[in-house]
Structure 1
């Protein structure tokens, strides 16, 4: 499937954002976090118009390219030509968050087996791993209301997320927010790994919980571990991994 390149049509800043978002879709596919075509990642475009890029609904994540991404506004209108629609649930969730979180440069949502499994547990995320301490320090929960296609759910999504970086959608999946695409991706890596560890640990013996006092100040520790760069510390290495796999996401 050939989609005309937008490289010389959009601004260099938008093209860089498109390439990073397409890379994020490819990495999500590589790590096995996809649910066919039914989840979504968005990235806010610069400016005051509250426009964001999102996937063309119907493409697998390993098919997405920089030029195939669709621009939508806060009303769900497509602002560039595309033969593909926008996932209604994707629009409701992402537009709700972008509308109230000026720091939300990227919103990443998954339906992984581990993520949905933990989201269905009353206990939520348990403090049983180093990874969980980073997640629990900035974690919200949102109760399941059915497939997220109704605008009236938006205020509750916004309230339940608050200022958190991680949101567990009960009986549904995981969501992360970051100032950059790299930050949202690293947050999801931690969130997904936390859930996988929890399920594995629960299959064994009695659990040892981490002292919740350790969760205090983990944000500062995370910054120290990434030399103050957050997700951008690991992003170049991930892009090199994609280059070794093939760079057609930049088309």
Structure 2
């Protein structure tokens, strides 16, 4: 046992979180040294809440399993192999969610061009295709308050998020919650495709054709059933396994 949990469990969380950073980078969804993906660790020996975050100053394609920073829910650094601490804005958003939503094993935040574009229009994401139908009536919204350095904003983020897994941070970007790192990444990739498709479709100058609400809801439930099978019933996750194989070819040092 290590830090109140098996070293194998902690190793797997570190590996998956490092994989998340690398996949976001491979997909071109990173933003320099900014934005974050965090993962909840098992509680410490004294019951303290802990989670992992990327070292401040590293690009996503430089993150590895061993250089992730361990912090507690007050922002105190517990372990910092790289020695640069973490981004304060990252702590504000991610700690808010982890402290309030114990079902969130992973919190993923991006600033992509498509995601920021969709977050910057009043209508948000429209159900224009199968990808976006996954998120039908399942997106929360939080109004922009400036760079997230004010700890008081945490309560408002949590209140706006409610029990949803997906949030558009108005004029800012996207926020995804996963019951595992794998689920958060898959949601983020699908949301990004949805936003790109919407920007492309509306940019054609033709009439957008939205999926009827009942069909969109049916589609969203189909997606949810598949995700629940993996997260709640322990079914294999071939999509995540495929992502890890991709990394073994293109960025094998993520495990280091």
1:11 aligns with 7
1:25–1:64 Cα contact (<8 Å) kept: yes
CA distance in 2, matches of 1:152, 1:127: 33
- Which moves more between the two structures, 164-173 or 42-51? 42-51
CA distance in 1, matches of 2:130, 2:219: 10
Q: Does structure 1 residue 149 correspond to structure 2 residue 156?
A: no
1:49 aligns with 48
Match of 1:247 among 228, 238, 252: 252
1:124 aligns with 124
Q: Does structure 1 residue 94 correspond to structure 2 residue 94?
A: yes
- TM-aligned CA deviation for residue 235 of structure 1: 0.5
Decide whether aligned partners of structure 1 residues 128 and 81 sit closer, same or farther in structure 2, where only a CA change above 3 A counts: closer
1:67 aligns with 66
1:201-221 Cα offsets, whole Å, 9 max, x none, are 001110111111123344541
List structure 1 runs of 4+ shifted beyond 6 angstroms.
Answer: none
Gaps of 5+ in 1: 1-9
Q: Secondary structure at the match of 2:229?
A: coil
CA distance in 2, matches of 1:18, 1:193: 26
CA distance in 1, matches of 2:242, 2:179: 19
* TM-align CA RMSD: 1.8
Gaps of 5+ in 2: 1-5
1:6-46 Cα offsets, whole Å, 9 max, x none, are xxxx8121111101100110000000000001110000001
CA distance in 2, matches of 1:100, 1:190: 25
CA distance in 2, matches of 1:226, 1:183: 8
